Structure 1
Amino acid sequence: MDAQTYTTALAELRTLRDEVKKAQAALARLETQRDKQIFALAGYEKAKAERIAPAAGLSLADIVRIAPHLAPQPLTTSSGPPGTTVPAPVSDNPAVTDVPAPTAEPAAAVTTPGALAPSLNTSSSAPQPSTKPVPEPAPPAHPMSAPDALTAQAQEPRTLPSIPEGPEGDRWFAHTPNLASTHPNFTQQARSTVFLDTQTGVLVHRDQTIRLDLHAVTAAAILEAVFNVIPDGLERIYITAGDPWHAQADRHPFLRDAVAAWLNAPIPGWRTDTGRGKDRMAGHFVHARNPVGRYQRENGEAHVEIRSVGEWFDAAGASPAIVRDAFVLLWKALRAHWPDAVLMGSPSQTGRDLWTRTIPTKGQWADGYPVLSEELRGLLHATAGQGRTELITPPDVPEQLPGLVEYDRTFAYAKHTWKSGVGTPERVTARRFASWSEKEQTKALFGCGHWHVRVTVPDTWNHVGILPAPAPGERAWHYPRTLGTTFTTWAGGPEIHTALANPIQPWKIEILDGLLWTDGKPLDDWSRKLKEAWSSLAAQAELHGDADQRTAAHLASRAVRALLLYGIGSFAQRPRMVTGTTPRTAERDVPPDAEIIGFDNDTITWQRPTGFTRDPNAHPEWAASIWSGARAALLSQRMREDNTHVGALHAPPGTVVAFRTDAVYLTQPQNWPYHGQPGDYLRKGQLTGPVPAPTTEDELLALRDRGRAALQAAHTTGRA
């Protein structure tokens, strides 16, 4: 093959690539249409999966996945009396095994630590991996549903990483040289900002309100119209309504493609911003809902961002003037605690910047908080999940629910920032843990730790799962609860504590390995100031005499929540995925490790992983600890002032329908006190039954919205 033939073949390959992309999009549309048709057919009272499957060209398992209630009877019931349930074998669950993973040293078995229950039992002999067939467990209180079992058989389990044995693993327990979080020695610069509703054309700049004549909702039209009326110094445009990047969504197979095309459309006199200054990022950020377009004049005289205000809060129809007032109130509330506070482009940037300004300049951590080794950061990234999201479907709950009540934890993450691990952790192997006294073990489990554990569900358990286990999928987790199930996972101290000291019965926990930090308060001052700002704004939202100002204060309080929520998320510092664009005429410049995620006649959009950066504020140990505490509080939380406990495990068995990060959905109301403090459970929605049990996330969200509207209507009627 000569050079000319090679070049020609490359051009042909690019053409094939484009055709494949289009064919995949067309196939996705047809598959969506097919699935909708299957779902509609499944609504017929005599519909049978055995007849629909060949008509659709799918397997029985695929049909049941789309319409779970069509699961064949042999999969869900035995040949015995009606209502007798056949337990799903543990092996059907891809992330759960009855064969313990071999370890290089004995596991320390923790059943009930001294401070939590009468005794602490440790074992000095490691269970040996069994080579015999595992017997089927006793009938579970909550069998795996047929769709879950079929899906589990079709997917491979995800195995969590562990720390290497010996010196190689010990080498991980260090911090990254010359990298630490320190107090900044500069002041952020404020950016001139406007607020634009692209539906009405209303633009607000400081105390001015201007109506633009937007002939289109392209980035080019927006920049032209805005800079015609505000020619100098503008650096940020917040879109308050209209979502202009979705204007041509019907022309693209995926929303992300539509956004990428909108951001990368050519703009005369402008080009993609290449960045300037330490606090600026270069290039567009392609996001389906809240993208960021970064542009600069070709002569370099102007740099501007187009952003969605949805990054901060849901404006919910608020005018640009009210949104502007919300940002002003937010800035004033923050200035009461940080004299140099500046609102940056996103809540994650602003939240983390404010945190750096609480780093001590004297005392033990005056030189900053060291950043963990890349190995430990990678381990935490792979083994520390975020919020619990779980939908419990029939037959584990009734097909017709007696009701659906939503309890949402107010400003939840702020409840779990009072203590975090600092410095470089120490390694606690199973042998070392077993050698400790009962008091030392209990103290360690109450401390700031991240533990590699083998878990066994009690043989008489009758409630929801407690500890997360890896499920198929890159970042998927589920919560095993089948009786006698044994699985291996990683979990934080708060969840270990809940498993050992829950109100029903303790679970069996075996320590395989662990990371244990010194207890500290690196986030306490930052969180306390944000909570005070939130409380002040929430009070204004309740008491202000002007309706527009009440709305603005409410939005500002939601923005404070976003500062903390996304600030914590930014500590996790996931491996970065960089999005970029390349002209079709320069296709050979696309990075060789990039994945092409969109293209048009002029531009190719791609993304590629870049791994961990040398971020001085990367602290995934703090995010992991807070997430663990929040998941544990969804199950059990003590309200000291009321001397009572709240959470899913304090509701009757069988009444939990779903978890969604900070919220739990139950079939009946609970007498849980609410004082409006961070972490309190607020009854946010309620539907009286019978209510069809949701089987998909969309169905749950639809019921959630109905429940909130119903509860709001009931409150309004009560006030009247």
Structure 2
Amino acid sequence: MDSKAYSGGLAELRALRDDIKPLQRELSKLQADLAKLHSRRDRQIVQLGTYEKAKADRIATSAGLSVIDVVALVPALGPQGASGEAPSSQVTGPDSPEAQEAAPAMKEVPAAPGEAQTAEPAGTVACLSAASTDPASEPDAPAVSEQAAAEPAPAATGSGEDVRVLPSIPDGGDGDSWFRAEPGLASQRPNFKQAARAMAFLDAATGVLVWQGGTVRLDLGRASVAEILTAVYAQAPATIERIYITAGDPWHQGAERHEFLKDAVAAWLNGPLPEGWTVESTRGKDRQAGHLVHPRNPVGRWQRGDQHVDIRSVGEWFDPEGADPATVRAAFVELWKALRPHFEDVVLMGSPSQTGRDLWSRTIPTKAGARWADGFPVMSQEIRGLLHATAGQGRTELITPPRVPERVPGWYEVDRTFAYAKHTWASGVGVPRRINAAAFAAMSEKEQTNALFAPSHWQVRVTIPKGWSHVGLLPAPAPGERSWHYPYEGGRTFTTWAGGAEVNLALRNPIAPWRIEILDGLLWESGDPLKSWSTKLREAWQSLRATAELHGDEQQKQACRLASRAVRSILLYGIGTFAQRPRITTGSLELGAGGAVPDLPDGARLTGITDTHVTWERNQGFARDQYAHPEWAAGVWSAARAALLSVSTSSKDPATGKPLKAGALHLPPGSILAFRTDAIYTSAPVDWEYGGEPGDYLLKGRMPWEQTTPRTDEEFYYLQGLGRQALEAEGM
């Protein structure tokens, strides 16, 4: 750059400054106006909460808030007011290897010199120390999510930040009454077979359409809904009920005209329709009417008389990675063929989550006298609500400077392949027991250890050791709009909920034990309701991967690779369906004369507006779903988060014969750059051997040269793509 260019750049910078200043003033005014409106809304909620028949869920949907936000403003609308603090038991553990048996010595111990002190609750303080465990005996599945129409009462969290308040179980009989099954509701094996739906695969960019009857190239024009429906059914039979978009993302048309991508999707879904077509309003029991407005994988549903069709993204199942529609169709064929030997009545449904839950339901035992032959009981709405509010899913975290350097010596991505299958061997079944602080303190050492290793979910007060220099271990309610974060500052104390797997990891991590005080908890009987299902899926996954390695035809190799990823999605999203979140209904209405916004359905909130339509959504709470088992999803997710930090691999140490360890805590402090569900991104070289078993870490990206540390998601995904390309280039 010369001096002339430099002077010109300064002039441009001053012009930008002058453009920014008035917008900043306008933004400040808007923020002040918004704060006033928030204050008015909160006062209105408090006033409405005084009505004797007021309901938290009704007020929440009208206010555009979550139920727990409303309960925080009006505690009387929860099942109980905020509970008093119960006596707590404290569990701490030193750095110790996992050995043959968990048999800690329990004793009363004061806080270590220099360690942050917290006000000790009344009651005995029991400390877990010198623990050693057999990795083979570790249950891989403790706890996660569900929010009931009536939210549990809130409990305070630590740290003094303006964070989301997590609920607690009420004291005494009110809380004990939560520990029951829903009357007349249990997961039972279905006595019918799903109906198969004919599918077609469309590249919206090129117009290539593939179905069982052939391949054609269509003129889609601008690829609006009307143009797609008209072009497809001019060539393909009306019996096709699902059209999977493999490329082109037509729902992102005109995205630049909308502030949010979701608004562009809604505008596309609600565009004009050909004569005779309407948005779907009637469906069978296994189907859902109306559109699903999702920013990247939406589902549009339409009908013409008795003819029904979904337009969906194949991205629900896998990233097609540029595969043409014929290859994508071949992947679905290979998927069905791989599942057929394990599930004789397999039918591929619209999404991997629906398929996963249907396949699982067909593994429920039916033999007379067998355990759970009458079905797996569904927990009370209160317990499901507690799990929904107090447990999260996969860990997503971007670690930025100053926690890590501005420049790092390299970029490495390692991913746990088919990881969730490793955490389905043991899950909680039946109605849980409540283990409050006093009950935990009264247990013997062995009983305490067994409780922590069993399927369980605990309310804990956590103190991070002084001098801790690595990543956070336990999730906590996050400030701002994020759901969860992972405190890491030495000496910090906070209150949260965590699954047994994560509590054990905090106590027995390979660096230094964290101080844990048990405040309350749920403890289930250990069973294996997911084991048969996940074993069958694992075998299908392995067979597809093997075929992809050996097949001589490049198209079939790619089809089998994609099909193996679809099996992963069936497991991943199938587990997610057990969480049974509140039902969110979406819809749209035409604008009135002069662009007037029409009246929305009772309890709905406005989510978008275009030149012709408004879109809305409504939280309808929890259905009486016989397959609602958030305790199972919670257990898998908790164990998977713990395994990101430290887990036994399928490789053995030649010296000891014991499984080798892997995970973030086995990498240098300050080297972890990000977590994404089952993947770790680090600046340190990783040499963990990949054994090909579920849960093993596979190197997926590598750039062993200096990089600028990503500070935004956009920068992160850019480096992720470069790292994968660089590793692929190494193998060429």
TM-score, length-scaled by structure 1: 0.80
- Give 2:669's aligned residue: 653
Instruction: Judge conservation of contact 2:203–2:248 (CA < 8 Å) in 1.
Output: yes
Cα distance, 1:680–1:119 mapped onto 2, change above 3 Å: same
- Give 1:596's aligned residue: 606
Describe the superposition over 1:421-440 as per-residue Cα deviations: whole angstroms up to 9, x where unpaired.
Answer: 00110100100000000000
Question: C-alpha distance in 1, partners of 2:724/2:412?
Answer: 9
Cα distance, 1:58–1:706 mapped onto 2, change above 3 Å: farther
- Give 1:196's aligned residue: 202
Question: C-alpha distance in 1, partners of 2:650/2:348?
Answer: 36
Cα distance, 1:687–1:252 mapped onto 2, change above 3 Å: same
- Give 2:505's aligned residue: 498
Instruction: Judge conservation of contact 2:291–2:301 (CA < 8 Å) in 1.
Output: yes
Q: Deviation of residue 640 (structure 1)?
A: 5.2
Instruction: Judge conservation of contact 2:104–2:446 (CA < 8 Å) in 1.
Output: no
Uncovered stretches (5+) of structure 1, i.e. residues with no partner: 1-39, 62-100, 131-151
The answer to whether residue 551 in structure 2 is matched with residue 535 in structure 1 is no
Question: C-alpha distance in 1, partners of 2:454/2:427?
Answer: 9
Question: C-alpha distance in 2, partners of 1:498/1:703?
Answer: 30
Question: Which one of 387, 397, 420 corresponds to residue 427 of structure 2?
Answer: 420
Determine helix, strand or coil for the equivalent of 2:685: coil
Cα distance, 1:159–1:129 mapped onto 2, change above 3 Å: farther
The answer to whether residue 609 in structure 2 is matched with residue 628 in structure 1 is no
The answer to whether residue 384 in structure 2 is matched with residue 374 in structure 1 is no
Instruction: Judge conservation of contact 2:427–2:527 (CA < 8 Å) in 1.
Output: yes
The 5 Å alignment of 1:461-472 reads: 461-472=468-479
Question: C-alpha distance in 1, partners of 2:252/2:472?
Answer: 40
Question: C-alpha distance in 2, partners of 1:394/1:603?
Answer: 44
Question: Which one of 152, 164, 169 corresponds to residue 163 of structure 1?
Answer: 169
Question: Which one of 102, 105, 127 corresponds to residue 119 of structure 1?
Answer: 105
The answer to whether residue 246 in structure 2 is matched with residue 244 in structure 1 is no
- Give 1:291's aligned residue: 298
The answer to whether residue 100 in structure 2 is matched with residue 109 in structure 1 is no
Determine helix, strand or coil for the equivalent of 1:120: strand
- Give 1:639's aligned residue: 649
Q: Deviation of residue 671 (structure 1)?
A: 2.4
Which segment is superposed worse, 586-595 or 233-242? 586-595
Q: Deviation of residue 275 (structure 1)?
A: 2.5
Describe the superposition over 1:649-690 as per-residue Cα deviations: whole angstroms up to 9, x where unpaired.
Answer: 111222212111111111111221111111011111111232
Instruction: Judge conservation of contact 2:200–2:211 (CA < 8 Å) in 1.
Output: yes
Q: Deviation of residue 489 (structure 1)?
A: 0.5
Cα distance, 1:106–1:706 mapped onto 2, change above 3 Å: same
Letter in 1 for 2:680: V
The answer to whether residue 686 in structure 2 is matched with residue 670 in structure 1 is yes
Question: C-alpha distance in 1, partners of 2:560/2:177?
Answer: 50
Q: Deviation of residue 118 (structure 1)?
A: 4.8
Which segment is superposed worse, 407-416 or 685-694? 685-694
Letter in 1 for 2:545: A
Describe the superposition over 1:221-250 as per-residue Cα deviations: whole angstroms up to 9, x where unpaired.
Answer: 111111111233221111111111112223
Question: C-alpha distance in 2, partners of 1:392/1:695?
Answer: 8
Identity %: 59
- Give 2:729's aligned residue: 713
Question: Which one of 597, 607, 629 corresponds to residue 619 of structure 1?
Answer: 629
Question: C-alpha distance in 1, partners of 2:219/2:23?
Answer: 50
- Give 2:130's aligned residue: none
Q: Deviation of residue 127 (structure 1)?
A: 6.4
Cα distance, 1:51–1:513 mapped onto 2, change above 3 Å: farther
Determine helix, strand or coil for the equivalent of 1:611: coil
Cα distance, 1:449–1:557 mapped onto 2, change above 3 Å: same
Determine helix, strand or coil for the equivalent of 1:209: strand
Cα distance, 1:694–1:474 mapped onto 2, change above 3 Å: closer
Q: Deviation of residue 599 (structure 1)?
A: 2.6
The answer to whether residue 292 in structure 2 is matched with residue 311 in structure 1 is no
Instruction: Judge conservation of contact 1:214–1:221 (CA < 8 Å) in 2.
Output: yes
Question: How many residues were matched structurally?
Answer: 609
Cα distance, 1:102–1:264 mapped onto 2, change above 3 Å: closer
Question: C-alpha distance in 1, partners of 2:279/2:189?
Answer: 32
Determine helix, strand or coil for the equivalent of 1:161: strand
Determine helix, strand or coil for the equivalent of 1:705: helix
Question: C-alpha distance in 2, partners of 1:604/1:102?
Answer: 42
Letter in 2 for 1:289: R
Cα distance, 1:474–1:572 mapped onto 2, change above 3 Å: farther
Question: C-alpha distance in 1, partners of 2:399/2:307?
Answer: 52
Q: Deviation of residue 51 (structure 1)?
A: 13
Letter in 1 for 2:307: A
Letter in 2 for 1:562: S
Cα distance, 1:440–1:283 mapped onto 2, change above 3 Å: same
Question: C-alpha distance in 2, partners of 1:555/1:516?
Answer: 39
Question: C-alpha distance in 2, partners of 1:128/1:637?
Answer: 34
Q: Deviation of residue 638 (structure 1)?
A: 1.2
Question: C-alpha distance in 1, partners of 2:18/2:91?
Answer: 51
Letter in 2 for 1:592: D
Question: C-alpha distance in 1, partners of 2:108/2:84?
Answer: 16
- Give 1:20's aligned residue: none
Question: C-alpha distance in 2, partners of 1:663/1:641?
Answer: 19
Question: C-alpha distance in 2, partners of 1:536/1:448?
Answer: 31
Question: C-alpha distance in 1, partners of 2:277/2:660?
Answer: 61
The answer to whether residue 229 in structure 2 is matched with residue 229 in structure 1 is no
Determine helix, strand or coil for the equivalent of 2:166: coil
The answer to whether residue 359 in structure 2 is matched with residue 354 in structure 1 is yes
Q: Deviation of residue 583 (structure 1)?
A: 2.8
Question: C-alpha distance in 1, partners of 2:233/2:107?
Answer: 71
Q: Deviation of residue 291 (structure 1)?
A: 0.9
Cα distance, 1:416–1:124 mapped onto 2, change above 3 Å: same
The 5 Å alignment of 1:294-443 reads: 294-297=301-304, 300-362=305-367, 363-443=370-450
Cα distance, 1:239–1:57 mapped onto 2, change above 3 Å: closer
Instruction: Judge conservation of contact 1:655–1:667 (CA < 8 Å) in 2.
Output: yes
Instruction: Judge conservation of contact 1:460–1:483 (CA < 8 Å) in 2.
Output: yes
Cα distance, 1:210–1:170 mapped onto 2, change above 3 Å: same
Instruction: Judge conservation of contact 1:117–1:501 (CA < 8 Å) in 2.
Output: no
Describe the superposition over 1:321-350 as per-residue Cα deviations: whole angstroms up to 9, x where unpaired.
Answer: 101100000011111111110000011101
Q: Deviation of residue 519 (structure 1)?
A: 0.1
Instruction: Judge conservation of contact 1:109–1:121 (CA < 8 Å) in 2.
Output: no
Letter in 1 for 2:639: G
Q: Deviation of residue 154 (structure 1)?
A: 12
- Give 1:205's aligned residue: 211
- Give 1:559's aligned residue: 566
TM-score, length-scaled by structure 2: 0.79
Q: Deviation of residue 535 (structure 1)?
A: 0.4
| Moved >3 Å (runs of 4+) | 50-59, 101-104, 113-118, 121-130, 152-155, 585-589
Question: Which one of 609, 615, 624 corresponds to residue 605 of structure 1?
Answer: 615
Determine helix, strand or coil for the equivalent of 1:689: coil
What is the alpha-carbon root mean square deviation over aligned residues? Answer: 2.8
Q: Deviation of residue 129 (structure 1)?
A: 7.5
Determine helix, strand or coil for the equivalent of 2:432: strand
Instruction: Judge conservation of contact 1:107–1:123 (CA < 8 Å) in 2.
Output: no
Instruction: Judge conservation of contact 1:102–1:128 (CA < 8 Å) in 2.
Output: no
- Give 2:262's aligned residue: 256
Question: C-alpha distance in 2, partners of 1:624/1:181?
Answer: 17
Letter in 1 for 2:453: F
Q: Deviation of residue 584 (structure 1)?
A: 2.7
The 5 Å alignment of 1:683-694 reads: 683-694=699-710
Letter in 2 for 1:603: H
Higher relative contact order (CA 8 A, sep 6+): 2
Determine helix, strand or coil for the equivalent of 1:671: coil
